[in-house]
Amino acid sequence: MNPEIIKVQKSFGEALAHITTPDDLEKLSIEYLGRKGHLSNLFLSLKNRPDSQKKTFGQELNKVKTMLVQSLDKKRVEITKQSAQQESIDVTIPGTQYPHGSLHLVTYAIEEISRIFQKIGFIRQSYHEVEWEYFAFESLNMPPGHPARDDFETFFVDHAPDKQYGRMVLTPHTSSGQVREMWRLGQPPVRMINIAKTYRPNWDATHVPMFHQFEGLCIDEGINITHLKGTIEYFAKAFFGEKREIRLRPFHFQFTEPSFEVDITCDICDGKGIVNKTKCKVCKSGWLELGGAGMVHPNVLKVGKINPKKYTGWAFGFGIERVFMMKQGLKVDDIRILYSGDIRFLEQF
């Protein structure tokens, strides 16, 4: 064998014997087999050798190259085995606890409400957050002079009015989806639960300017008030617990007739109206209003292209944040804390 090749082979073997890490092994491979390595330089010198030596010299180089590659592979396996034997894992040691986030409380409430109504055949919808004035008011039997259309009651959007639908508003209630749902389906039966953000300029212990509502709408032949009350009682028992009570108080809404306010026994004061010998700041009477309800007004059915002589329906609209406040045992006495961003409060759930 050529002395130059023997020298490279010997120096490689001596260096390989002292290799103990994968990084050193990679460096050795580059040193001898890389583009500018010792063996590669001998391959480049092949063209300058006499023709009588080229064949033999080339065969010897290929033989040594194969030997070097095999030696590197063998050494790599040895190093890997040694590393595995040195590593020890105690599977009884507890894993590292990393902080993790969770869904917001309102999102949890929305999911629970959706499941409750899904069980009785209601389809969940989510209609426009920015709505035309027509759907928010006129389609719901509220004429242009109605107080709800006052600038102090509704957030109007600075947008060019539409000739047919009027100005744009941040929707003040999920009821604006009622006529849209009637138009979408065409004919009864209608069973919708509309969950969406709504906006009103209020800010106190039981109001925030941006909040969520869920709107129930049921239209079919023979629908009456007993169906409305039964549905609300079913929801109250499922969401708040068997011990909680509801009541319907006569009220007035333009888009339902007859109309009711729906109240529930307050969880903060346990329905007594008194907390620590002072009047409950949330309900003040032992009952807290959840929202409005009633039988869908015939004029609204007509706008929805449904015959009010053949079909009847009921609707209700509840604020999700207020509903969540009344969940059994939570004792949340200020709705604003839900949007305070206080991680100390949110981490409790």
Q: What is the pLDDT of residue 239?
A: 92
For range 197-206, the mean pLDDT: 82
Task: Report strand pairing: 312-319 vs 210-220.
Answer: antiparallel
**pLDDT at residue 52 is higher than 90:** no
pTM beyond cutoff 0.95: no
Binding-site positions:
257
Give the mean model confidence (pLDDT) for residues 310-337.
86
Q: Are residues 249 and 263 in contact, defined by beta-carbon separation less than 8 angstroms? A: yes
Please give the average per-residue pLDDT across 188-197, as a whole number.
94
Distance from chain centroid for Cα 54: 72
Q: Mean pLDDT score of the chain, rounded to an integer?
A: 87
- Please give the share of the chain, as a percent, with pLDDT higher than 90: 36
Amino acid at 94: P
Binning the chain into helix, strand and coil, the percentages to the nearest 5 are 40, 25, 35
Stretch 301-325: mean pLDDT, rounded? Answer: 93
DSSP bridge partners of 288? 264
Any idea of the CA torsion for 225, 228, 232, 233, to the nearest 10 degrees? 50
Known binding positions for Mg(2+): 257
Tens of pLDDT, residue by residue over 248-300, are 999 998 899 999 999 998 888 888 888 888 888 888 888 988 889 999 999 99
Q: Which two tokens stand for residue 237?
A: 């028992």
Helix (H) or strand (E) holding 105: helix 105-118
Residue 303's alpha-carbon distances to 186, 190, 319, in angstroms, are 12, 15, 25
**pLDDT tens digits along 210-256:** 989 999 999 999 999 999 999 999 999 999 888 888 999 999 988 99
Strand stretches in 18-170, DSSP E: 123-125, 130-132, 156-162, 166-170
User: pLDDT tier at 22 (50, 70, 90 boundaries)?
Assistant: confident
Which tokens sit at 247?
């009541």
**Other CB atoms within 10 A of residue 279 CB:** 12
For the segment 64-86, the average pLDDT, to the nearest whole number, is 84
CATH architecture label of 105-346: 2-Layer Sandwich (3.30)
How far is it, in rounded angstroms, from Cα 211 to Cα 261?
19
Residue in the structure block whose two tokens are 């804390």: 337
